[in-house]
Structure 1
């Protein structure tokens, strides 16, 4: 795993973990790295300070300190607003996962009862929904997923 300091075109700084440097490059090339604050896809690596300890101190040195703020707690107004939006969406909507496009289409056509939903859709699926006049909006965050 590797942690990168990232910066979007709007100047938001944030950190993210990747499986490897190659994994970051692949995700960035596919446009899948987005700003965690504004959702912009124009993200690049920011200057970072490496965490290097002199070899003679490795054995008896404590683990490096974590940042002053845990990543799970918002530290500024934008992060707090995003956190509140996420909470409201998750509490007031049904998560339909990768079935988002078919669920939205079924509700629009009257084949399913209307209700607030959120989920995941491929870019092509989202474009098709918009072209069909189905009202959708991208969310500036990804749904929580359990991994391992």
Structure 2
């Protein structure tokens, strides 16, 4: 199994697991590899170093030098690096990896706990609002015009960006 670090043209980084380098290249050329955040198929492999498990062996420290960065500096560097991430659909620019993960978790919760009514969203929302059917949590698609009409009728609606891979397990 080959684990590759990948990145789409929108700078979203993710892992891909492939049987071999040839398997990755074949899937990439057939357009089967896409970003789990934005479904971009313009994906490139990032350079990565193999992880070497050297056991308990540690390199000797130089006298008077501390080889480890201070925790506050490491945290600041990680925070600065994560603040340079591109915006995920619906996320403000500069969202950290933790904020993106929380956002995706919230979206998965919505997907898991709502019924997808597809293009019937406006009709279903009206039926529930006017008591023609039992209220339940739904999601679906509607036009901007229909959404505005629903809001004018006093029906609460909220646009929700759902990345294509939200229903799948992300690695």
Q: Which has the larger radius of gyration?
A: 2
TM-score (norm 1): 0.49
Greater relative contact order (Cα 8 A, min sep 6): structure 1 or 2? 2
Please report the TM-score for the alignment, with normalisation by the length of structure 2: 0.43
